[in-house]
Amino acid sequence: MAAEGATLLEYVPDFAFKVRMTPAQARKLLRLASVRWVGFFHPAYRLSPRLTRGGERLYTVQLERDADPAAAASALRATGARVLGAGPQAVVVAASSERLAALAARDDVAWIEDFVLRKKHNEAGGGVIMGAALAHNRGYDGSTQTVAVADTGIGSGTAAGAHPSVPSSRVAAIYNWPGTAGGCFQSITDDGARDVDSGHGTHTSVSILGGGDSAWRGKGTAPEARLVFQAVENWVTISALCQVLYGYPDGYSSPGCPPTCARSSSRPTPRGRASTRTRGAATSAGSTRRTASTPTTSCGATGT
C-alpha span between 193 and 184 (Å, rounded): 22
The verdict on 241 and 156 lying in the same domain is yes
In Å, the largest CA–CA distance within the chain is: 67
The verdict on 152 and 263 lying in the same domain is yes
**Percent of the chain having pLDDT more than 70?**
79
Across the range 258-281, mean pLDDT stands at: 50
Question: What is the domain count for the chain?
Answer: 3
Cβ atoms of 281 and 128 closer than 8 Å: yes
Asked if residue 71 is part of any domain, the answer here is yes
C-alpha span between 20 and 16 (Å, rounded): 13
The verdict on 34 and 63 lying in the same domain is no
Specify the pLDDT at position 284.
35
Question: The domain spanning residue 106 has which CATH number?
Answer: 3.30.70
Q: What is the domain range of residue 30? A: 2-41
Asked if residue 120 is part of any domain, the answer here is no
Asked if residue 119 is part of any domain, the answer here is no
The verdict on 79 and 107 lying in the same domain is yes
Confidence tier at 260 by pLDDT (50, 70, 90): low
**Percent of the chain having pLDDT more than 90?**
58
> Cβ–Cβ contacts within 10 Å for residue 129, how many?
16
Specify the pLDDT at position 82.
96
Q: Is the pLDDT of residue 125 over 80?
A: no
DSSP 8-state secondary structure symbol assigned to residue 41: -
The verdict on 258 and 218 lying in the same domain is yes
C-alpha span between 56 and 204 (Å, rounded): 37
pLDDT digits (tens, 9 = 90+) for 62-119: 999 899 999 999 999 999 999 999 888 999 999 999 999 999 999 999 999 999 987 6
The verdict on 72 and 218 lying in the same domain is no
* Spatial CB neighbours of 115, under 8 Å, sequence gap ≥ 6: 57, 58, 59, 60, 92, 183, 184
Q: Which of 4-18, 55-69, 78-92, 124-138 has the lowest mean pLDDT?
A: 124-138
The verdict on 77 and 157 lying in the same domain is no
The verdict on 54 and 190 lying in the same domain is no
The verdict on 147 and 275 lying in the same domain is yes
Cβ atoms of 231 and 174 closer than 8 Å: yes
Output the CA–CA distances (angstroms, integers) from residue 250 to 130, 142, 177, 286, in the order listed.
36, 39, 19, 42
Q: What is the pTM of this model?
A: 0.59
Residues in the chain: 304
pLDDT digits (tens, 9 = 90+) for 189-239: 999 999 999 899 998 898 888 887 766 667 888 889 999 999 999 999 999
Q: Where are the beta strands (DSSP E) in the chain?
A: 7-12, 16-20, 56-63, 82-86, 90-96, 109-114, 146-151, 171-176, 185-189, 226-231, 234-238, 251-253, 276-278, 297-298
Confidence tier at 156 by pLDDT (50, 70, 90): very high
Asked if residue 284 is part of any domain, the answer here is yes
Asked if residue 185 is part of any domain, the answer here is yes
Q: Is the pLDDT of residue 171 over 90?
A: yes
The verdict on 68 and 99 lying in the same domain is yes
